[in-house]
Structure 1
Amino acid sequence: MVIEGRKLEIIEAAAILFKEKGFSAVTMRDLATAMGIKAASLYNHITSKQEILSLIIIRLAETFTEGMNTIVNSDLSPIEKIEKIIRLHIEITLTNADGLASLNNDWMHLEEKNLEYFKNMRVAYEENFRSIIVDGVQEGTIQPYDIEIMVFSTLSTLRTLYLWYPNQKDINPEILKNNMIAVLLKGIL
C-alpha cells in the first residue's frame, strides 16, 4: 500500500499524536493543529480518524507479513530465518517507531473488517515464527525450551523495541541489529 503526499503527512503526524496521547484521546482538531491547518482541510485527504488508524496499522502489518512470508519461503536455516526476522523488526522500528505504537497499542480500535484482517495477519505471523522455532528444535540447532516461552520472549522484545530505541542516541543501527540477534539467539551467558 503506497501512500504519498499530503495523505502521508497526515498519517505521519497522526502516528506521532497517537503515540503521545493514544488513539482515543486524539481529535481531528488536535491533528489539524499539529499540522498547522484547519480541521476541515483534513477531510480533503482522508474520511475519518478511523481511516488514519487503519492506514497506519494495516500498512505496517502488511509490511511485517510480506517480510515474514519472504523469510518463511526462503531456503535459509531456522537460525538464519530468525536472524532475518529480528532484522525485519529492527528495520521497521527504525523507520516507523511512531506507527508501531498504534500497531501495538491501538489495534483494538480498528473497525470490524480491518480488525479481523489485522488479527488474522498477526496470528499467521506468530504461527510462522513458531514453526521456524519448532523446525530449529527438531533439527537440533535451537535448544528444546518451551516453544511458547521462546515465541513470547522474542516477539515481546521485538514488539516493544519502538519504546526503548528512540532514547538510545548512541547505539548504531547495525550494532543494535547484531547485538540483538546475539542476545536473542544466544542469551547473555
Structure 2
Amino acid sequence: MKKLTKKELFFEKTLKLISEKGFKATTMRDIAHELNFEVANVYNYIDSKESLLENYIFGTLDEFIIYLENIVESSYSPVEKLKFVISKHAQYAINKPYEVALFVYEWRNLKGDKLQEFKEKRSNYMYTVRQIIEEGISEGQLREMDGEFATFMFFSSMRWLFSMITNDDIKVNPIEIEKQLTDFIFKGIENK
C-alpha cells in the first residue's frame, strides 16, 4: 500500500471527519485536532472550509460531466451507456468515498452563485441521463415507463452506495458491488 504524503493524509482525514460530523458541525479546530496541528497550520492546506467544499464538489461533478459527455458521444446502445454511468458512480464511490459523501450530502452548504451553479450543472447531468433512459425506452431496450420517474429511481438506487462505502464496518468488493448495483437497476428498467 502506497504511503500517503502529508497533503494527501490531511485531505483524507479532513474529508473523513466531515463525513462523520457533517460539514457545518466540523470546525477548523476539529480538523487541526484530528491531525495534531495548530489551527494556523490547517490554512497551509486550505483557505477555508467553504473553498474545500467548493473544490471537491465541483471537481467531482466536473469529472462526472466529462465522463458522461464521452458516454453520450459514443456509439453504444442506451443500455450500455447506462451501464457505463453506473460503473463510473460505483467505482468513484469505492475509490473516493469521502469525496462522494461530501458531494452527495453536503452540497446544500454551498453559498450564493456556487449553489446555483451546482444545481444547474447537476440538473443538466441528470437530464442527460434521463435522455439516455428515454432513448432506451423509445428503442424498446428499456420497458415502457415515465422517464423522469425512471431517472429519479436510477439515481436513488445509486445514492445508498455512498453511505455504505463510508461505513468502516462494511467491507466491499468493488467488482461485486458494481455488478449487484447494475443487476438491481436493470431488473427494474430493462425490457425483457
- Taking structure 1 as the reference length, the TM-score comes to 0.89
Give the aligned residue type for 1:168: I
* Equivalent runs, 1:2-41 vs 2, <5 Å: 6-41=6-41
C-alpha separation in 1, matches of 2:11 and 2:113: 20
More divergent stretch after superposition (85-94 vs 54-63): 54-63
CA shift digits 1:33-83 (9 cap, x unpaired): 111211101112321111111122111111111111111111110000000
**For the aligned residues, what is the CA RMSD?**
2.1
C-alpha separation in 2, matches of 1:64 and 1:26: 27
C-alpha separation in 2, matches of 1:120 and 1:127: 10
Aligned to 2:75: 75
C-alpha separation in 1, matches of 2:50 and 2:5: 19
* Equivalent runs, 1:7-156 vs 2, <5 Å: 7-156=7-156
Note the C-alpha offset of 1:145.
Answer: 1.2
Contact 2:154 2:185 in 1 (8 A): yes
Note the C-alpha offset of 1:13.
Answer: 2.1
Q: List, as ranges, runs of 4+ consecutive aligned residues in structure 1 with deviation greater than 6 Å.
A: none
How much identity, in percent, do the aligned residues show? 31
CA shift digits 1:66-123 (9 cap, x unpaired): 1111111111100000000000000110011112222121111112232222112201
Give the aligned residue type for 1:181: T
SS at structure 1 position matched to 2:143: coil
- Taking structure 2 as the reference length, the TM-score comes to 0.88
SS at structure 1 position matched to 2:144: coil
C-alpha separation in 1, matches of 2:5 and 2:72: 33
